Amino acid sequence: MKRVAWVTGAGKGIGAVIARELAKQNIRVAISARTVRDIENVADEIRAGGGEAFAVVCDVTQPDAIANAVKQIQAEFGAITILVNNAGVGGSHKFIGHDDALWHKIIATNLDSVYYVTKAVAPMMVAENWGRIINIASLASKVGWKYTAAYTASKHGVLGLTRALAMEFVPHNITVNAICPAYVDTPMTDTSIANIAKRTKMSESDARTFLEKLSPQNRLITSEEVAHVALMLINENARGITGQAINVDGGAVMF
């Protein structure tokens, strides 16, 4: 029987690449995001390559929308046993005078969504006595940088939730892990570069170079590198890996 995966935030960037790679492994892939055109494009590409994909619009900060998405995915493909919590948003602000709306938006998108989506999907994994939950976190789940209080808090929360659930789900053959990339060459990072350029008055080219130099390898990580780790974690030979936070960062953080 084919496995069924759900990748959130899969309309572009890391999520889209993970969805494509999962489909190549003969896995039925449900793709969600808030933008219809983006997820339909990814689903069409997967189908064109001979894979199975189902696009479903879902705001993962809303429990009702999540419940509806789960119902649609089950009807289309069956029980979800692979979950990639990838949906996320960036943002930065000095803590003095921090915008409360920005705080709530980042926490809701990056942390609350992981709680809500996992809560909706985990019962299916328990019933199947098998599952893989992969949370796309960040180096910000392990270390902090100035001007990123909300983002750092959200990703630290994701890591804490990952570890707690890993222990809780051991009896059900469900592994729960986090992938912690450095800056990845995605549209989200392009937005960060634009914000840095605007705030510091440096050029976008210089802002990109600044982010590249945060890695000992002097480059941005690729989405394919993150997807490679995700594929490794769903393999049966990775069943001994749970509660872990795997860095993909060119050696920037070594714990």
What amino acid positions are annotated as catalytic residues? 151
Instruction: Say how far apart CA 111 and CA 100 lie, in whole Å.
Output: 16
Q: Compute how many other C-beta atoms are within 10 angstroms of the C-beta atom of residue 95.
A: 11
Output the six-digit token pair for 225: 């590198």
* Angle, helices 113-128/149-168, rounded to nearest 10 degrees: 20
| Cα-Cα end-to-end distance for the chain | 37
* Angle, helices 149-168/100-107, rounded to nearest 10 degrees: 30
Residue listed under structure tokens 């979950």: 83
